[in-house]
Structure 1
Amino acid sequence: MQQTNEKSIIQKLDLDGYIHQFKQFLAREKPVVMMGDINQHYRYIQALSKVQFPTPNPVPNLDRELNLIKKQGVLSLDEIYAFVTMFSYFNTLKAVGFTEPLISWVQGIEIPEEIVEIIGYFTEEGSINPERDPELFKLERAIKQNKIDIKETLYKLAHSSRLRDHLVDTQVHFNGGEETLLVRGGFNNVIKATVAARSPGGFFYIIPQSISHLKEKESALLSTKEEIIYKYCKDISAVFFKWERFLAFINKEYDRFDHYQARVSFARAKEYEFILPSKQKRIKLQDFAHPAIENPVPITMDMNKQIMLVTGVNAGGKTMLLKSMLSAVYMSKYLLPFKCDASKTEVGHYKSIEAVIDDPQSVKNDISTFAGRMQEFAKLFSKEDAIVGVDEIELGTDSDEAASLFRVMLDELRKKGITFIVTTHHKRLASLMASDDEVELIAALYDEERRMPTYTFLQGSIGKSYAFETAQRYGIPVAIVKKAKVVYGEDKDNLNELIEKSTSLEREMRMKIAKIDDELKSVEKLKEKLQDEEFKLQESHRKAIATLENRYNAATKKAREALKAKESTEGRRLLNVAHQRKDFKQKEVKLADEIPLKAGDKVKYRSHKGELLSLRGKDATIIVDGLKMRVPLSQLKRRGDTPNIKVKPKPKQAKVNVEKSTASVSVKLLGMYADEAIDTVDKFLSDALVNGLSEVQIIHGTGGGVLSKLVGEYLKSHPKISKFYRMPGNLGITVVEL
């Protein structure tokens, strides 16, 4: 029943040609609907869109074969090869460079060894490989040689002098699978043969008796071959029975991948886009093109209200707009690609799609147009969370009465969560619903100068029907149209003029807004360009500082190595002064009006955006895409989306006092990283040596013992340390004697 409804909605929306084209990309016939989580399907399709993959070979539906395996039946060679085709394809996919989630899925399909061995039995053409079986190989050679013998015998007969006068030609003809010669009547006087058939010209296809023994030999060889093939089929079917559940699984997964690859291949061939349905009950189309229209005018429409009422010119595209909106919902609902600007298109998810489009009048069913429409609307009262398209809603009855009736029905049905797209030629319903905040008015536009519909639409306005202009355009005499206008009445004509003026003003306003939007986009692009240039300058500045810092570190490293070789108290003191001046210079580089970063700030690290979690000295801990990272504080930049609070610049203080540092008898390394801990210990020992201390303590904690090990290795290589040992009691303290 559901499949029948799907077929009906496809035909009503003119999508049958589109669906037929899509199905050409499937490896086997199946419904277009995919069961399961649509969000998961979308992730797999997006991942598959990023790689090139082999096209799957056609495979028939194997439900009957799976049932036969359950009953321990014997499959034919072709049926077995259909399963082998699926096994081989999944083996091929494992060599494709997939990304997640595809790689986990494909690699997770492990084909049992017994099944892998069966794959090796077959050639690419689907027959048993004779090279794997000596007896079969011998039979194949015998059959081939016998065919050569038959052909040579017939060739000799066709060129023999005794049969020459009776031959129609000298070719070997295949008739009913048999090699024959084509001869005239009276052939039996010169050759013994069996008549296989008669030609339309009254000639005879004959099988000469001289090749009868060869044909009998061929039949015997083929029978023997069939016995061997049947044995293979029987043995393989027994293995399949053992792995029946795996076969059912691989058959299902093949269908699933077939759904994905067909959609991706179809989208690539047509340059279509995928739109994942959103939770919002909204249809926002940008440059949408219905697949049934050649050279269409792209549709841009934003429907975020529960009822969209389309009015305006006859033959102006109202019905196609309705079908386009519903088609976009249908195609996105089943992840079928279509032409649009995907970055600006949004389509909501609806439980069901209904189209009240065709005229339901039927003499056979004894039902009028209006009665048929009432039947369609009566069914809607049992629906929820649906989107319904109604074409020419007042069709078949008095427009004023119908307008009042449909106004009430639409109000009641939308309370059940039903969204409506309605087209109408009558303005009574539009005027009744115009004041409703949940009704979107759409006008189909008309080109007055060319006297032609534009197939474009204007939101927020009621459209004029242009019935008289349309009649004149299609050949109705001008005099008749003029008389009709008189009968129509001046008041109503004035009303149409007001509607037309309102539409023109609305169009003018929209054009101005569009122009302003374009200018705003240009300004935004210029702003982004300037921000990029600023970032490049800052990055260049950062690299320059990093280069200088690397040179400084290299120089100080060489100085340390020199001091280790020849210890100098004055050298250690000067090295500490250099460290202090380096720190001061780095602080001096910071802008005076820059606000210090704090935990919770939005920051940018190189090209990554993240959030600052905590600060520790010159390092900061940030989180980027759920991953915590420890990075230099100097490489962080405040994000542009964080409001900058300008503060008054403080007067620069260039006064610097460099004094002899006061040494401490202990240092804490708790929570430090390895490099930071060693640098701290190095500076601490230098200060202790300069100040003449004889014994100091390094507090590294117990923990996993990593810091303790690093400190021990460093102390062993230090030239000025006479002795060091762990303090008793496992307190996590190392005592150093200088």
Structure 2
Amino acid sequence: MIAERALRTLEYFKIRDEVSNYCTSSIGRSHIDNLIPSVEFTVVKKLLEEMDEGMTILRLRGNVPMGGMTDIRPHAKRAQIGGMLSPTELMEIASTIRASKILRQFLENVAESEDVKIPHFIEKKEAIPILTALEHEINDCIDENGAVLDSASSTLRSIRQQLRIQVSRVREKLESYTRGANAAKMLSDSIITIRNDRYVIPVKSEYRSHYGGIIHDQSSSGQTLFVEPSAVVQINNDIRSLRVKEQEEINRILIKLTAEVEIVGHDIFVLVSVLGEIDVILAKAKYGQAQKCTMPIINNEGYIRLVKARHPLIPLETAVPNTIEFGKDITTIVITGPNTGGKTVTLKTVGLCTIMAQSGLPIPALDGSEVALFESVFADIGDEQSIEQSLSTFSSHMVNIVDILKKYDDKSLIIFDELGAGTDPQEGAALAISILDAVHGTGARVMATTHYPELKAYGYNRPGVANASVEFDIETLSPTYKLLIGVPGRSNAFEISERLGLPAYIINQAQTFTGTDRGEVNSMIASLENSRRQAEKDAEETEAHLVEARKVKADVELRLAELEQSKEKLEQKAKDKAKKIVDEARREAEDIISELRKMQSNTHNFVKEHELIDAKKRLDAALPDNPVLKKQKKLNEMAKELKSGDEVKVLSFGQKGTLLEKLSKTEWSVQIGMLKMKLDESDLEFVKPEKQKQTVSVNSIRGRDTNVKLELDLRGERYEDAIMRTEKYLDDALLSNYPRISIIHGKGTGVLRQAIQQFLKNHSRVKSYRFGEAGEGGHGVTVVELK
């Protein structure tokens, strides 16, 4: 357990108060008030994971519905010990149950709709008891303002109906007095008021005997008496009696609801506890968002790596971030340098980040930061720069250090500020070195600050110890608050004095008093500082180049994605264009065939040869240059060898035809309806015949087919066969100039009849159709009028 003194010294409670401000309920705030760092690794890991899930939910949804929650544990406790809950208390219970239901639904939606894993929140959701029945029962009896509804019971409804009737009667009676001829004379005001829960009127004192009845009150001057006239005394008595009955019924309802609360009292305690835990997690997450904090990695090896860490109590715009790493090879850091340079802030940053992480709080550092789990944290921080204290003495320091030396172990983080200060410099430095040797030798993680120059070389002859300093800008004569690990602090007194105008001869004489060794040490430190600055500059340039490279990579990936999209659009555009060409060719072919049919009809079934040749040329011209045909040619080479009499599909027109004869190696004479065409074999696709079909005579296009009947019998045919036969029969009938034909489909289930009539409905040469008359076959026959 982390000592309370260390928490107070590191100002942990101020952080806790800031987090508490983000809670949405008193339940969460009460949990935050009891929040302390944990020393169990599994507990801390779970707390951090819960907080990270909360930050994820807030990032995705912006907010979480937590309104309407109240700490209803006192209500449940009172119900358990036999008390009667008030309507307001019952309403708060229903409101809290409703809030828990809304939260459950919200978390379910997040888990289902978002591509994220929130196992800890789902676990807490499942732990929330479902008390919807109690919520409905309370809402059926009490409204949102805490008033008991008439519908709470039939008895209460009846009492209130009677009460309204009686109140209406008494008001009507009293209004007759206020509107009477003597009202202006005898009454102080023409109003009806209430005294002692009874309806009265304000009467001037000199006319009190005129109305009789009971005087309930008088004005401060005594000039007005509030009189209950005799005529309404009994009605007021009835109202009073009804109000007593009303209250008795209300109490009965409240006792009944209180008993329901008592039954689920344990569940209510669980519900409030879980809601409080969720509120705390979300408060931590909201604090993390506001302070730009991140979830650290937690370890059990004493390793600390804070990337660009800030002190959480210093405003974002003024805080200077520092990267601090130690705990593996280096277990002790000694920071030297002048006052107000930021040494104490650095110590508090490390200590606060540690105990914040062990409390499940995000830390003010960048992603990738890592903190160690310590079983104890000790802090002895000087009072000169403390926010809460004013002055510290050597004695108080020693009392605290003695207590630390009694309790620390290798699982401890120890923070010393101005170690050995407040006494003789030589003795203080000696004590500081001795204390550091004692704690460093046990394996504890130690950070200390000091003014003593003797400690500047402390880390050079002790393994596991590193010197550090805070940077000071000689040009501006101010600290930069940047921590330089590996570089001890040096005195800048001579440089500062020179810039402030101290004569050079005084500075030169002073330098002769410092000794050669000290001058060499300062020169070494200055060289280290210059090397450090150069290294940082190089690192910044490298980071800038890396950012630029990432930006270029992102731009290339974006352009590649745009090219892929453009390629898809062009492919789709090409497909649309090809489809348009094919559709236009198909329409042209249909127009040519339609023209031939008209010519056949208008010239007594005779079409001249040159007209057929001209139509063939037009069909050839309508054929699009489709690359699909080339592919189909290759497929046909591997398919069945074509021969005369085979039924084929003409790919360019989408029409079926019959092979007549092979004209050359790649060309065939093809019969398509009434047309004979010369087509390339690559434009033909073999069609497996369903039934043996008769080859259409070439001469059929020359004149009327006298064998075409006036009726077509389709009974027993399958749907596809019937449609094909009907289509061919219509073509034959049109070529034969039949004005009317009959199609026999039978009655049956009506499926074939509907299919035939639907086909006729969409045929361009069908003028109309109807069912046959009684002598024509009735509903088993469709009579078709042709154009």
Is 1:430–2:441 an aligned residue pair?
no
2:318 aligned partner:
296
2:605 aligned partner:
none
1:60 is paired with a residue whose SS is coil
Residue 227 to residue 405, structure 1, CA distance change in 2 (3 Å): farther
User: What letter is aligned with 1:259?
Assistant: V
Is 1:20–2:17 an aligned residue pair?
yes
User: What letter is aligned with 2:110?
Assistant: F
Is 1:282–2:303 an aligned residue pair?
yes
Residue 94 of structure 1 deviates from its aligned partner by 2.9
- When normalised by structure 1's length, the TM-score is 0.58
1:336-735 to structure 2, matched below 5 A, reads 336-341=361-366, 343-359=367-383, 369-370=394-395, 372-384=397-409, 385-466=411-492, 486=510, 489-491=513-515, 495-496=521-522, 498-523=524-549, 526=552
The C-alpha deviation readout for 1:685-717, integer Å capped at 9, x for no partner, is xxxxxxxxxxxxxxxxxxxxxxxxxxxxxxxxx
Is 1:57–2:68 an aligned residue pair?
yes
Is 1:30–2:40 an aligned residue pair?
no
User: What letter is aligned with 1:383?
Assistant: Y
User: What letter is aligned with 2:378?
Assistant: E
User: What letter is aligned with 1:298?
Assistant: V
The whole-number CA distance in structure 1 between the counterparts of 2:240 and 2:442 is 73
Residue 71 to residue 326, structure 1, CA distance change in 2 (3 Å): same
Contact 1:175-1:205 at 8 Å conserved across structures: no
The whole-number CA distance in structure 1 between the counterparts of 2:284 and 2:549 is 39
Is 1:115–2:163 an aligned residue pair?
no
1:90 aligned partner:
100
Residue 535 to residue 376, structure 1, CA distance change in 2 (3 Å): same
The whole-number CA distance in structure 2 between the counterparts of 1:69 and 1:301 is 56
Residue 137 to residue 555, structure 1, CA distance change in 2 (3 Å): farther
Contact 1:193-1:207 at 8 Å conserved across structures: no
Is 1:133–2:153 an aligned residue pair?
yes
Highest CA radius of gyration, 1 or 2? Answer: 2
Residue 321 of structure 1 deviates from its aligned partner by 1.6
User: What letter is aligned with 2:44?
Assistant: I
Q: Which runs of 5+ in 1 are unaligned?
A: 197-202, 361-366, 546-550, 567-738
1:106 aligned partner:
125
The whole-number CA distance in structure 2 between the counterparts of 1:485 and 1:188 is 107
Residue 461 of structure 1 deviates from its aligned partner by 0.7
Residue 86 of structure 1 deviates from its aligned partner by 2.9
The whole-number CA distance in structure 1 between the counterparts of 2:495 and 2:167 is 82
Residue 542 to residue 125, structure 1, CA distance change in 2 (3 Å): same
Residue 172 of structure 1 deviates from its aligned partner by 13
Residue 133 to residue 451, structure 1, CA distance change in 2 (3 Å): same
2:357 aligned partner:
332
2:255 aligned partner:
234
The whole-number CA distance in structure 1 between the counterparts of 2:514 and 2:424 is 22
Residue 373 of structure 1 deviates from its aligned partner by 2.5
Residue 237 of structure 1 deviates from its aligned partner by 3.0
Contact 2:332-2:464 at 8 Å conserved across structures: yes
Residue 54 of structure 1 deviates from its aligned partner by 0.8
User: What letter is aligned with 1:30?
Assistant: S
Contact 1:317-1:455 at 8 Å conserved across structures: yes
- When normalised by structure 2's length, the TM-score is 0.54
Residue 12 to residue 232, structure 1, CA distance change in 2 (3 Å): farther
Residue 558 of structure 1 deviates from its aligned partner by 9.3
1:30 is paired with a residue whose SS is helix
1:717 aligned partner:
none
Residue 91 of structure 1 deviates from its aligned partner by 1.0
Residue 531 of structure 1 deviates from its aligned partner by 8.1
1:123 is paired with a residue whose SS is coil
Residue 462 of structure 1 deviates from its aligned partner by 1.0
1:48 aligned partner:
57
1:458 is paired with a residue whose SS is strand
Identity of aligned residues (%): 17
The whole-number CA distance in structure 1 between the counterparts of 2:282 and 2:345 is 30
Aligned mate of 2:45, from 32, 39, 50: 39
Residue 368 to residue 518, structure 1, CA distance change in 2 (3 Å): closer
Contact 1:312-1:465 at 8 Å conserved across structures: yes
Contact 1:15-1:292 at 8 Å conserved across structures: no
Residue 204 of structure 1 deviates from its aligned partner by 8.0
The number of aligned residues is: 531
Residue 259 of structure 1 deviates from its aligned partner by 1.5
User: What letter is aligned with 1:48?
Assistant: I
Contact 1:303-1:440 at 8 Å conserved across structures: no
Residue 452 to residue 526, structure 1, CA distance change in 2 (3 Å): same
Residue 189 of structure 1 deviates from its aligned partner by 7.7
Is 1:256–2:267 an aligned residue pair?
no
Aligned mate of 2:226, from 209, 214, 217: 209
2:337 aligned partner:
312
Residue 61 of structure 1 deviates from its aligned partner by 6.5
Contact 2:377-2:414 at 8 Å conserved across structures: yes
1:661 aligned partner:
none
Contact 1:194-1:206 at 8 Å conserved across structures: no
The whole-number CA distance in structure 1 between the counterparts of 2:185 and 2:501 is 85
Residue 75 of structure 1 deviates from its aligned partner by 3.9
Residue 145 of structure 1 deviates from its aligned partner by 10
Residue 24 of structure 1 deviates from its aligned partner by 2.4
Moved more, 131-140 or 524-533: 524-533
The whole-number CA distance in structure 2 between the counterparts of 1:468 and 1:98 is 64
Moved more, 83-92 or 217-226: 217-226
Residue 132 to residue 407, structure 1, CA distance change in 2 (3 Å): same
The whole-number CA distance in structure 2 between the counterparts of 1:256 and 1:144 is 52
Contact 2:439-2:446 at 8 Å conserved across structures: no
Residue 375 to residue 292, structure 1, CA distance change in 2 (3 Å): closer
1:71-90 to structure 2, matched below 5 A, reads 71-90=81-100
2:469 is paired with a residue whose SS is strand
Contact 1:276-1:335 at 8 Å conserved across structures: no
2:22 is paired with a residue whose SS is coil
Residue 529 to residue 471, structure 1, CA distance change in 2 (3 Å): same
User: What letter is aligned with 1:356?
Assistant: D
User: What letter is aligned with 1:54?
Assistant: P
2:782 aligned partner:
none
User: What letter is aligned with 1:347?
Assistant: V
The C-alpha deviation readout for 1:435-455, integer Å capped at 9, x for no partner, is 434223221111211211222
Contact 1:289-1:296 at 8 Å conserved across structures: no
The C-alpha deviation readout for 1:280-309, integer Å capped at 9, x for no partner, is 533333343333223323312122232222
User: What letter is aligned with 2:17?
Assistant: H
Q: Pick the structure with more helix per residue.
A: 2
User: What letter is aligned with 1:420?
Assistant: V
The whole-number CA distance in structure 2 between the counterparts of 1:59 and 1:518 is 52
User: What letter is aligned with 2:18?
Assistant: Q
Contact 2:303-2:371 at 8 Å conserved across structures: yes
